[in-house]
Amino acid sequence: MRTVGLVAIAFALSGCIGSGSSVVPPGSATPEIVTPSTSAPASDRLQASPVSEPTSAASAGTPSFSTGTPLVDLLPAELGGTATTKFSFVGSDLSALEPSAAMIFDGVIQQLGAKGADMTIGTATNGKATVVAVRVAGKDAEQIGEAMMSARTLNATTTKDELDLAGKHAVKVTTTISPLPFYMYGAGDVSFTIAGADESIVAEALSKLP
């Protein structure tokens, strides 16, 4: 992976959609991108790994999964026929993120009683969907997912619906602070948050997760 200065990155964190994500509701204006702060030290800026195309048949399907697998390796290389761009960073990088996104991840860290260095984050995004994977040392996917939902839906009226998509059990979260729902799914020690223009692309994303 290479260090980049200003990198567009989208978060499937509900409220970021439409203001800082590449997932755009039909008819909406193009949102401004989220960039790491130029004031952050170079060593703390986002590590980006652009993905142009799947490198093997396996990369287009369900990835192998074990504790410690790099999060970007678990994320789809392609969604909706379009390659994704992947990024990875750690909880101690929060100063490099847009404040609204940093606040969410900081809230997760606090709720779990963890340290910034305990959290690792991976994202895969294109103009159709965004998938965010989060791992926190010593916590399982359910604990992380609950903390993510709580941090993301703070001060919002929220509806949660359990459903099965692409053979996986997920939770659809709809809030009063976002035009689109987001979906939570967990596997092992990783919690995934998915947002997309419609449920079909969310299902595709789920089908490509472990």
Counting the structural domains of the chain, the total is 1
Whole-number pLDDT of residue 210: 94
| 82-121 tens-digit pLDDT | 999 998 888 987 776 788 888 999 999 999 999 999 999 9
What tokens were used for 37?
A: 């702060």
Residue that has been written with the tokens 């997932």 in this structure = 23
Q: What are the residues whose beta carbons fall under 8 Å from the beta carbon of 206, sequence distance 6 or more?
A: 165, 166, 167, 168, 170, 183, 185, 194
How many percent of the chain have pLDDT more than 90?
Answer: 52
Residue that has been written with the tokens 């204006």 in this structure = 29
Distances from the Cα of 23 to the Cαs of 49, 91, 125, 207, in angstroms? 19, 23, 9, 19
Whole-number pLDDT of residue 99: 87
Domain hosting 56: range is 2-207
| 40-76 tens-digit pLDDT | 333 333 444 343 333 333 334 567 666 678 999 999 9
State whether the Cα torsion 190-196-202-205 is positive or negative. Answer: negative
| 184-199 tens-digit pLDDT | 999 999 999 999 989 9
